[in-house]
Structure formats: C-alpha cells, structure tokens
Amino acid sequence: MGKLDGKVAWVTGAGSGIGAATARALAAEGAAVVLSGRRRGPLEEVAQGIGAAASVEPCDVTDPEAVRGVVERIAARAGRLDILVANAGVNVVERDWARLRPEDAAAMIAGNLTQAFHCALAVLPVMRSQRDGVLVFTASIAGRLVKLLSGPAYTAAKHGLVAMGHALNIQEGVNGIRATVILPGEVATPLLDKRPVPVPAEERARMLQPEDVADLVRYVACLPPRVTLPEVWITPTWNRLHLAELAAAGLPRPAAPPWE
C-alpha cells in the first residue's frame, strides 16, 4: 500500500519534465493523478505510461475559467482533491532588460505567478471543506536570488510565488491546508531550451534531473497533516552558480565532478 492511497492529486505542467516525473511519483505512491497542460498529446503519453491511476485534463492555467472548470470536474468525479502541484512555468530567450518586450514580461508574470493564484483559488474551497490539503508550487532559486541568468520578469514572478506560498500558510494552516514552495536550482528540463546560451549535454547530465525534484514533491505530499514544510531549496552539487563565483574569485575549480 502507498502512503497516498485514496488521495487525488492535480499536477499542472504535467506533459514533460518535473510535472511528468511528479505525476509518476505520486501515482507510484498510490494517488489518482490528474494531468494538465496546454497540449493533450504529451499529457496522454504520460498518462498511458502511468496507467489507470492517471487521467488527462488539458488546460491553459492562465485562464481562470478553464482552471475552475478542471477543479469542478475533478471534484464531481472524485469527490475530493487532496494535492495540487502547480508546476507550470515559462521563460523567454530575450529576457534581459535591453531586449525584454512588454508582452513577454506580461507572459512571464502570467505563466509563472498569476496561473498559480488561479489554481490555488480554485482548489481552496474543496480543501477547506475537507479540512485538509497540500499545495506544492514549483518556484526556482530565482525566487530567492537575483541573478542575470533568469531575467527580471521570471525572477520577479518567482519571488512573488514564494511570498504567495507563505501567505497561504498564514491564513489556511488553521484549515488543515499546507503550502510548500520548492526552489530548484538548474534542472535538466525542456525549459533549458529557452536559455540565451545553449546548455551542452554534459552539463545537463550534471544538473538536477526531473525525478530528483519529483521525489521531493512526493515526500512533501506524504508528510502527516501536522507538518508544514513552507520552503525547500534543492540544487545540483555541481552548481554552476558556485563555479562562476569560484572563477570570479580566482579560485581553482576542477574540470569535472569527482564522481565522473
């Protein structure tokens, strides 16, 4: 028996990367998982790999009416919704101040912050009625660190996401609802393809993998109701931000990790 037997989880951004790995991890622990994303095809492929525990609800999470509809259908079918993993996120290549366009900045805020508000606002009434629920938000270390690499709009949105998670715990903890914001360092997901400078395969292999973050989400979801984990950092050991600081300080750095 799994620790999440009888639980229902909704995962956004579930067609690839962290979202797909999280859906698999929660299903392996016994949860029924509902997968959302913009494109039906990738969602169905992930769901087929999981089996009967998975169902698909394509959705643009920047549309509050679409989000509300998904939650209403989940509640009607299952009678409950125990876990939200708000994992959807976006970035653009031309992200620095000199090239950032207003429409791209707006898309960054909508795709990384506003969508999480839509999801939280939609699931909270169900979770309040249950007096129980877990909300997990995939942020980034850009939600705590201000670096040029992430771009100002993405960084601002992720900072807002961290604040949102803490604000949820202040008001909703008395209702048995716990929010966790996960702040990964570099993860080898398709979002890397939006980097201004391409990331070579050998560097991607040294980063966090989607399954690493998914296992952390599974751990959070399995914690007893008395426990809230408000914020967690998870970073690669071979941390390229740290390596850049070593180089800037003129300190020696090896060419490869010691385990290679």
Q: Are 153 and 171 in contact (CB under 8 A)?
A: no
Q: Are 46 and 20 in contact (CB under 8 A)?
A: yes
> Token pair of 6, please?
């009888």
Distant-in-sequence, close-in-space partners of 121: CB < 8 Å, separation ≥ 6: 64
What stretch of H or E contains 28? helix 17-28
Write out the catalytic residue numbers: 154
Sheet holding 133-138, edge to edge: 54-56, 32-36, 8-12, 83-86, 133-138, 177-184, 231-234
Distant-in-sequence, close-in-space partners of 89: CB < 8 Å, separation ≥ 6: 13, 111, 112, 138, 140, 191
> Token pair of 32, please?
């029924």
Q: Are 17 and 210 in contact (CB under 8 A)?
A: yes
> Token pair of 53, please?
């525990």
Report the Cα 126 to chain-centroid distance in Å.
21
> 3-state class of 150 per DSSP?
coil
- Phi, psi (rounded to 5 degrees) for 24: -65, -40
